[in-house]
C-alpha cells in the first residue's frame, strides 16, 4: 500500500503534484510516452482521440501565459474539452474559498484540474478533496514544485544528450524562490544524473539545498566549468526591491550567462531557461538566441510532455 | 495444441502478396509483432517504399478500462499517406479491434486510396467487420490463451508460441 498521495494503491500515477518521491520508472514512462506524442504533432491531424469527452479545467490563480497555453494545447490535442479559468479575476475576489471553487467545478463534471497557485501546497489540498475519478496536475505552487516544467526539462536533456549517465548539470540563479529548481533537482537525482550543481548568490541559495545531494557554487565561473547542461532560472523582478540583491546590473555581472562564461562549460553544453526570460539580467541576448540555446525547443517539448502526463493520469 | 512454423507462414504470406504486388505498395506494421513481420516481408518482396510502423496505444478502445499502456513507441510513416496503397501487417489477427485502431490512426496522416490487411496468423473470433486479404494460416486457439510471436534479436527469425492469458508478457 502506497502512502504517496499522488499514487493509486497499485502504485500508478493518479495526480502529479511533485517530482519528490516518484520512482524513476514513472518519470521514464512519462518521457517515453512524450516521445510518441512528438510524432503526433507532426501529422496532418495533430490530435489523438484518447481524452474525447473528458473535461479539463485549467485553474490559474496566478498569471501565466506559456504554461497555461501549453496545457490548453496539450489537452486539445488529446481531444479533451478545456475550460480556462483565470481565478484572480473571478469568484475568489468575491470571497469564495479555494475548496468551494473546486467543489463547484467538480459539480460541473470536471475530470481533471490543472492548478497554478501562489500558495505552496494548493494542488495537494485540492487533490485531497476531489472525488475519486478526478485527477489533479500541479502547474506550479508557490515556491514548492513545478513538476511538468522539470519533466519537460528532463525530456529536453535526454533529447540532446541521449540520456542522463555521466552528465554535469548546473542550475543557475534564484534557487531560493524557484519551484522549478526544486522539482528539477529531484528529477535529475532520481534519473541518476551524477553531478548536479546550483550556482547563485548566498542570499538566493537556501542552506538546506546541499542536503538534496547537489554541489553549491557562489562563483559562476567555477560552477560552469565542464558542465553539459546549463539551466538558467528567471530572476523575479520583485526580488530587486528587497535586500536580497544590490541591482540588476550587479546581478548580471556576477550571475548573468554571457558567451564568455558559457565558454567555460563543455563545448557541446546546452542552455535552457523555463521562461519568461529577462534578457540582460540573467541571460545575455546573444546566448539566449545562440547555437547552444534550446529554449524554444523546450516550449515545443512541453506540449508533448503535458500530453503524456494528462493521458497517463486520466487512464489510471 | 500444435502451432504452425512462423517462417513457413511468412513465405506463404509473401507469396500471396507477391501475386498482386505493385511497386508503390507501402507496408505498415503494427507494433510489436506486426513490425517484425512487415520488416521481413519488406525485404523478401524487395520493396523500395519506406517501411511504416504504427503503435495504436493512442487509438485503442480499451483506454478507459486499462489506461495508457507503458512503452508506447512513436508511429512512423515516412511516405505520403494521401493516395497511397497500404498493406497493414499484423502478427495475430483476433478481435479486429487493433486493426480498427490502426486504420483510425492512418487516416490522421491522410487519405489512402486503399488499405489491405495481411496477418501471419488468423485466430478468428472477430468482434468487428474486418477481413484480411492475406493470411499465413488460420488457427483455432482455446479460450484464455494467446498466440504470441517472437523474433530472435540477432537473426530476426520468427516463431509462434501459445501462452495463458494471465502470463502475457
| Smallest CA–CA distance from B60 into chain A, residue | A50
Query: Would you place residue A63 in the very low, low, confident or very high pLDDT band (cuts 50, 70, 90)?
Result: confident
| Smallest CA–CA distance from A30 into chain B, residue | B70
Q: Which of B64, B68, B109 sits opposite A44 (nearest CB)?
A: B109
Q: What percent of chain B has pLDDT over 90?
A: 90
Instruction: Calculate mean pLDDT across residues A30-43.
Output: 92
Which pLDDT score is estimated for A254?
94
Query: Would you place residue B169 in the very low, low, confident or very high pLDDT band (cuts 50, 70, 90)?
Result: very low
Q: Which of residues B32 and A238 earns the better pLDDT score? A: B32
Q: What is the mean pLDDT of chain A?
A: 93
Substitution target in B32, B56, B61, B67 with the highest count of A β-carbons within 10 Å is B67
Which pLDDT score is estimated for B70?
84
Which pLDDT score is estimated for A246?
77
Instruction: Calculate mean pLDDT across residues A256-279.
Output: 96
Tell me the pLDDT tens digit for each residue of B97-146. Answer: 999 999 999 999 999 999 999 999 999 999 999 999 999 999 999 888 99
Instruction: Calculate mean pLDDT across residues A66-88.
Output: 93
Residues of A with CB under 8 A from a CB of B: 12, 29, 32-33, 35-36, 38-40, 43-45, 47-50, 311-312, 315-316
Q: Which of residues A99 and A158 earns the better pLDDT score? A: A158
Instruction: Calculate mean pLDDT across residues B91-102.
Output: 97
Residue A210 in this model has a pLDDT that exceeds 80: yes
Which pLDDT score is estimated for A192?
96
Which pLDDT score is estimated for A41?
83
Q: Are B74 and A36 an interchain contact pair (Cβ–Cβ within 8 Å)?
A: yes
Q: Which of B57, B74, B109 sits opposite A38 (nearest CB)?
A: B74
Q: Which of A43, A48, A316 sits opposite B59 (nearest CB)?
A: A48
Which pLDDT score is estimated for A241?
66
Residue A174 in this model has a pLDDT that exceeds 50: yes
Query: Would you place residue A239 in the very low, low, confident or very high pLDDT band (cuts 50, 70, 90)?
Result: low
Q: Which of A33, A43, A49 sits opposite B72 (nearest CB)?
A: A33
Q: Which residues of B touch A40 (CB under 8 A)?
A: 58, 75
CB-based contacts of A94, cutoff 8 Å, min separation 6:
none
Instruction: Calculate mean pLDDT across residues A109-127.
Output: 95
Q: What is the mean pLDDT of chain B?
A: 94
Residue A1 in this model has a pLDDT that exceeds 60: no
Q: What percent of chain A has pLDDT over 70?
A: 95
Q: Are B104 and A311 an interchain contact pair (Cβ–Cβ within 8 Å)?
A: no
Q: Which of residues A2 and A278 earns the better pLDDT score? A: A278
Q: Are A44 and B108 an interchain contact pair (Cβ–Cβ within 8 Å)?
A: yes
Q: Which residues of B touch A33 (CB under 8 A)?
A: 68, 72
Q: What predicted TM-score, i.e. pTM, was given to this entire model? A: 0.91
Substitution target in B69, B101, B108 with the highest count of A β-carbons within 10 Å is B108
Which pLDDT score is estimated for B167?
54
Substitution target in A27, A29, A33 with the highest count of B β-carbons within 10 Å is A33
Residue A107 in this model has a pLDDT that exceeds 90: yes
Strand order in the sheet with A270-272: A215-217, A195-199, A168-172, A229-232, A270-272
Which pLDDT score is estimated for B109?
94
Which pLDDT score is estimated for B28?
98
Amino acid at each position: 500500500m502506497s502512502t504517496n498521495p499522488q499514487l493509486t494503491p497499485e502504485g500508478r500515477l493518479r495526480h502529479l503534484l511533485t517530482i519528490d518521491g516518484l520512482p524513476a520508472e514513472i518519470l521514464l514512462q512519462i518521457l517515453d510516452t512524450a516521445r510518441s506524442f512528438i510524432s503526433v504533432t507532426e501529422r496532418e491531424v495533430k490530435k489523438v482521440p484518447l481524452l474525447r469527452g473528458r473535461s479539463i479545467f485549467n485553474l490559474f490563480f496566478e498569471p501565466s501565459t506559456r504554461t497555461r497555453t501549453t496545457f490548453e494545447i496539450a489537452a486539445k490535442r488529446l481531444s479533451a474539452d478545456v475550460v480556462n479559468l483565470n481565478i484572480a479575476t473571478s469568484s475568489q475576489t468575491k470571497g469564495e474559498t479555494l475548496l468551494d471553487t473546486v467543489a463547484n467545478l467538480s459539480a460541473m463534471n470536471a475530470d481533471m484540474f490543472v492548478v497554478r497557485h501562489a500558495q505552496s501546497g494548493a494542488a495537494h489540498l485540492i487533490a485531497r478533496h476531489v472525488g475519486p475519478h478526478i485527477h489533479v496536475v500541479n502547474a506550479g505552487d508557490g515556491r514548492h514544485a513545478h513538476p511538468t516544467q522539470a519533466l519537460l526539462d528532463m525530456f529536453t536533456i535526454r533529447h540532446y544528450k541521449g540520456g542522463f549517465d555521466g552528465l554535469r548539470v548546473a542550475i543557475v540563479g534564484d534557487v531560493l524562490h524557484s519551484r522549478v529548481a526544486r522539482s528539477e533537482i529531484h528529477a535529475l537525482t532520481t534519473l541518476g544524473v551524477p553531478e548536479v550543481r546550483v550556482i547563485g548568490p548566498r542570499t538566493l541559495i537556501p542552506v538546506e539545498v546541499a542536503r538534496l545531494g547537489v554541489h553549491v557554487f557562489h562563483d559562476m565561473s567555477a560552477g560552469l566549468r565542464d558542465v553539459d547542461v546549463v539551466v538558467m532560472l528567471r530572476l523575479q523582478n520583485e526580488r530587486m526591491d528587497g535586500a536580497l540583491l544590490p541591482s540588476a546590473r550587479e546581478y548580471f555581472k556576477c550571475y548573468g550567462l554571457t558567451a564568455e562564461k558559457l565558454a567555460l562549460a563543455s563545448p557541446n553544453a546546452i542552455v535552457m531557461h523555463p521562461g519568461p526570460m529577462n534578457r540582460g539580467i540573467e541571460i545575455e541576448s546573444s546566448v539566449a538566441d545562440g547555437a547552444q540555446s534550446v529554449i524554444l525547443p523546450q516550449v515545443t517539448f512541453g506540449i508533448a510532455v503535458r500530453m503524456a502526463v494528462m493521458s497517463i493520469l486520466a487512464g489510471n | 495444441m500444435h502451432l504452425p512454423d512462423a517462417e513457413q507462414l511468412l513465405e506463404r504470406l509473401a507469396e500471396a502478396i507477391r501475386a498482386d504486388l505493385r511497386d508503390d505498395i507501402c507496408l505498415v506494421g503494427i507494433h510489436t509483432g506486426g513490425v517484425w513481420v512487415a520488416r521481413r516481408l519488406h525485404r523478401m518482396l524487395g520493396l523500395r517504399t519506406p517501411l511504416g510502423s504504427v503503435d495504436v496505444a493512442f487509438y485503442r478502445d480499451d483506454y478507459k478500462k486499462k489506461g495508457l499502456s507503458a512503452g508506447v513507441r512513436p508511429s512512423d510513416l515516412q511516405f505520403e499517406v494521401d493516395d497511397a496503397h497500404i498493406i497493414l501487417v499484423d502478427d495475430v489477427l483476433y478481435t479486429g479491434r487493433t486493426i480498427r485502431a490502426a486504420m483510425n490512426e492512418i487516416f490522421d496522416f491522410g487519405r489512402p486510396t486503399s488499405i489491405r490487411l495481411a496477418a501471419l496468423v488468423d485466430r478468428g473470433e472477430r468482434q468487428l467487420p474486418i477481413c484480411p486479404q492475406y493470411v499465413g494460416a488460420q488457427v483455432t486457439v482455446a479460450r484464455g490463451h494467446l498466440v504470441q510471436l517472437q523474433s530472435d534479436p540477432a537473426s530476426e527469425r520468427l516463431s509462434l508460441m501459445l501462452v495463458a492469458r494471465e502470463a502475457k508478457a
